[in-house]
Structure 1
Amino acid sequence: MNAATLPDIFDDPAAGWPQWLDARRVDDAACAAAYEGTSAPLRAFLKTGLALLASHFGRPAAQQHGGWSDPFNGFWQESHRCPAPWAIVAFPPAYAAAARLTAAFLPGLLAQVPLLGAVCVGAGSFTPTPQALLALELGGVEDVFCLDETGLCRLLEETQPGPGRLVLLHKGELDIAVQTARHLNIPCYEERCAPALALPQPDLFDMEALVLAHGEGCVKRARTAALPESPSAIYTTPEAARAHCHLSADRPFGRGAAPLALTPGCEGFWLHDGLTPEFFAIRRMALGPL
C-alpha cells in the first residue's frame, strides 16, 4: 500500500469542543468589560508584550513536509510537521498575571492550533479575574470557559481527535488534570509557581503595568524582599540587559543565570521557559531502506 492509498483512518478530522461545553462559556460581555475597565496606557503595555512575543517566535508554517534519500548508505526519510488539533490553557479563578497568561496561549496561536480554549477551573460560582479576561481579549482567544476539576478532566477525555496540548498555570490546585493528561498521553506544560523577579532599580519601571503583568503578590515580593539569588528575570537598564547576555559562562550560578533580562517598556512581556510554538506541534517521521 503506498501513500496515495492509505485508508481514511490516517486522515486528520477537524477538532471540535463537546456540545455540553457551550453552556459553560464565559459571556463576551465580561471580556469586553475587562477591556474597557483597563486604562489605555496599561492596555498598551500588554499589546507591546504581545507584539514582542510574536516577533520573538515568528510564525512557523502550519504544515511542513520534507524528506531525504541517501543512496550511499541506503536509507530514506520523510517527515511532517503540523499543529496539534486542539489546545487548552487552564488556570484557577484567582490567576491575575496577564502577561504570563498571554505567554501561555500565544505560542499555540502562533503555531496555528485550529482550536484553542482557555478554561478557568474552580468550585461553585466564579469568573476569571479581569486581568485574565483582558489578556484573553487582547490575544483574540474566543473560547473561554468556566469548569470544575471534573469538567476539565471530562473535556480532556472527550475533545477529539487527540492528543491535543494542555498548559496549566497553577500552584498544585490542578494536579488532577496533570494525572488525567498523563493517563491520556496529552503533553502537558506547567507553571507551578510565580516567577522570582529581580528589580534592582524599580523606579525605572511602571509598577502598575508590572502588577497587571504578574499579579500584586509577585511584584510586592520583588519590591520588598532581598534580590533573589536565582531570579527568573531581571528588570534593568538596556545597557545592563545587553551586558547580561555577555556574562562569562564559567561564573558561579546566581543572578547572572537569569534567563531573561528585560528593559523599561517590556513590563507587559513574558516568556515561559520551554513553552514555544514547537510544544503545540505534532511531528511524524517515516524511515526505511532504499
Structure 2
Amino acid sequence: MFEFPLWLQDYQIDDEIFGEAYEATLPPQRAWLKKTIAQVYGINSPEAPSKTWNVNTWRGGFETEVSTAPLAWTVLLLDEKSVSPVRILAALVPALAAGVKNILAIYSGEGDISQSVLAGFELAGQEDVVHLPQNKVKELLDHLMRSGVDGAILDLRVSHVLLPCGPCVRYWRAPEISSISICKEEDSPDMDVLSFVHPDVEFVEVDEDSLEDAQSDAAVVPAEIVGDALMNYNIVLAHGQEGCWLWNGFNSSFFKRESVALAVAE
C-alpha cells in the first residue's frame, strides 16, 4: 500500500485555517464551488467501477485482455498565483472520481494559500494540504520518482519550475487562463461571481459580432450562441454556468493505469 512520507504531517495546514477560510467564503460563493465539484464529478462517471478487466476476442484466434485501475497517488502543485478555486477544483475532482486514494495538494508559494482555494478543498473533502518550502517539494518529488509507484503530478503553478521526471509518473500542466471574453445580456452573467472564481483574469467585454475576434482563453456567452462560440474557443461557459469550470480534454482517464495482455483465444 502506497503512503506519502510521514514528515509531511509537519507541514499540514491546520484545521483552524481551513475553518477560517470556509467561514470567510460567503454561502453564495460556496454554492458555486459545490456546483463545480458536483458537475465535474458527474461528468467523470463516478458510478463506474474503479477497476475493470475486459477481454476481447479477435479474428485470427487471439485475445487482448485489458485491466484498468486508479493510479496510486496524485499531487497538485500550487503557488501564490494559483488563486482560482474552480480551475483548481476542475483538476482535482477527476482524480477523486477516478478513485485515486492518495491525493496531496502542495502549496509552495509566498504568503498564505488563497482562502477561496482552501474553502474549495474543504468542500471537496481534500484534507491533505501542505505548505512546503521549495527544497522539501524537491525532496518529496524525488522520493515519488524513486518509489516506482504509478502516480500523477498536476501543475497549477504560474511559475515554470523544472521538475524531476520518472517512468511511472504522468504530468499535466494547467493551460494558462489570463483573459476571458464576456458576452453580456441583460443582467447576465454575474460579474461578481466571475471575479470571485477568477480573481487573476482579465475580462474582455465583447458582443456576438466581435466574439470571434477576441483573443481570449475562454468565453462566457448566452446559451443560444454557445455553438458559435465553440468554433473559436476551447472552453465556453453558458450564462448560468459562469461560476463553474471544466478543463477541455482532461478527465478521470488520466488517472487510470492500463495493463494489456495478448493471449491465444480458447
Partner of 1:56: 43
Partner of 1:11: none
1:252-277 deviations in Å (ceiling 9; x for gaps): xx872212332232123111222210
With over 3 angstroms needed to count, the CA separation of the structure-2 counterparts of 1:255 and 1:48, relative to structure 1, is closer
Q: Does 1:189 align with 2:146?
A: no
With over 3 angstroms needed to count, the CA separation of the structure-2 counterparts of 1:92 and 1:223, relative to structure 1, is farther
Partner of 1:5: none
Q: Show the 5 A alignment for 1:1-290.
A: 14-59=1-46, 60-70=48-58, 72-122=59-109, 126-159=111-144, 160=147, 162-171=149-158, 173-177=159-163, 180=164, 182-183=165-166, 185-201=168-184, 203-215=187-199, 217-218=200-201, 220-223=202-205, 229-241=214-226, 244=227, 247=228, 256-290=231-265
The code of the aligned residue for 2:193 comes to: A
With over 3 angstroms needed to count, the CA separation of the structure-2 counterparts of 1:184 and 1:120, relative to structure 1, is farther
Q: Is the CA contact 1:63–1:82 (under 8 Å) kept in the aligned structure 2?
A: yes
SS at match of 1:99: helix
1:171-207 deviations in Å (ceiling 9; x for gaps): 2x24222xx1x34541110025225311021741122
Cα distance in structure 2, aligned partners of 1:149 and 1:174: 13
Greater percentage in strand: 2
Q: Is the CA contact 1:99–1:269 (under 8 Å) kept in the aligned structure 2?
A: yes
Q: Is the CA contact 2:181–2:220 (under 8 Å) kept in the aligned structure 1?
A: yes
With over 3 angstroms needed to count, the CA separation of the structure-2 counterparts of 1:24 and 1:56, relative to structure 1, is same
Deviates more, 1:135-144 or 1:195-204: 195-204
1:89-118 deviations in Å (ceiling 9; x for gaps): 111023210110100100000001011111
> What are the ranges of 5 or more consecutive residues in structure 2 without an aligned counterpart?
none
SS at match of 2:49: coil
1:72-101 deviations in Å (ceiling 9; x for gaps): 402121111000001001110232101101
With over 3 angstroms needed to count, the CA separation of the structure-2 counterparts of 1:109 and 1:67, relative to structure 1, is same
Cα distance in structure 2, aligned partners of 1:26 and 1:93: 15
TM-score, scaled to structure 2: 0.88
The code of the aligned residue for 1:113 comes to: V
TM-score, scaled to structure 1: 0.81
Cα distance in structure 2, aligned partners of 1:152 and 1:274: 28
SS at match of 1:157: helix
1:202-222 deviations in Å (ceiling 9; x for gaps): 74112221122112x30x443
1:197-249 deviations in Å (ceiling 9; x for gaps): 1102174112221122112x30x44359x9663443221112222xx1xx5xx
User: Number of paired residues?
Assistant: 257
> What are the ranges of 5 or more consecutive residues in structure 1 without an aligned counterpart?
1-13, 248-253
The code of the aligned residue for 1:198 comes to: S
Q: Is the CA contact 2:107–2:132 (under 8 Å) kept in the aligned structure 1?
A: yes
Cα distance in structure 1, aligned partners of 2:134 and 2:167: 16
The code of the aligned residue for 2:171 comes to: C
Q: Is the CA contact 2:183–2:222 (under 8 Å) kept in the aligned structure 1?
A: no
1:170 is displaced (CA, Å) by 2.0
Cα distance in structure 1, aligned partners of 2:102 and 2:250: 18
SS at match of 1:50: helix
